[in-house]
Amino acid sequence: NEERDYNQSLATVKYAGLTSTVTKGEFNESFNSLAYYYVYYYGYTVDEAASSILDSLAQRKLLILYVRDEIAKSQGVANTTAVADLLNAVE
């Protein structure tokens, strides 16, 4: 099943009680668009490119968790509050 394959977890990040995952589908999309540049312009091996892309995706997820926690703190609410509830009408 394609959807199940896409949603397989490759990495999990945690911050302040929040958890996020990098899925196989997210990785494949990034790898397919970026690996060529890593290999042919920056001299990475394919394995190094894959590792770097996965690390980058995990760092992005971690940054999102951090920001979510900081916004929740600034508003005096739990960091488990839905993201839509943390934003104002303009955001």
Give pLDDT tens digits for 15-41: 999 999 999 999 999 999 999 999 999
Instruction: Give me the half-sphere count of Cα atoms (radius 13 Å) on the Cβ side of residue 36.
Output: 3
The pTM score is: 0.88
What is the predicted pLDDT for the residue at 89?
77
- Cα 75 off chain centre by: 24
User: What gap in Å lies between CA 86 and CA 44, rounded to an integer?
Assistant: 40
Q: What pLDDT does 68 receive?
A: 93
Span between the terminal Cα atoms of the chain, in Å: 36
Residue 14 tokens, joined: 């945690």
Nearest to 37 by CA among 56, 12, 9: 56
Q: What are phi and psi of 19, to 5 degrees?
A: -135, 140
**Model pLDDT, residue 88:** 80
Residue 67: the pLDDT is: 94
What does each of the 91 residues of the chain score in pLDDT, given as a tens digit?
899 999 999 999 999 999 999 999 999 999 999 999 999 999 999 999 999 999 999 999 999 999 999 999 999 999 988 888 888 877 7
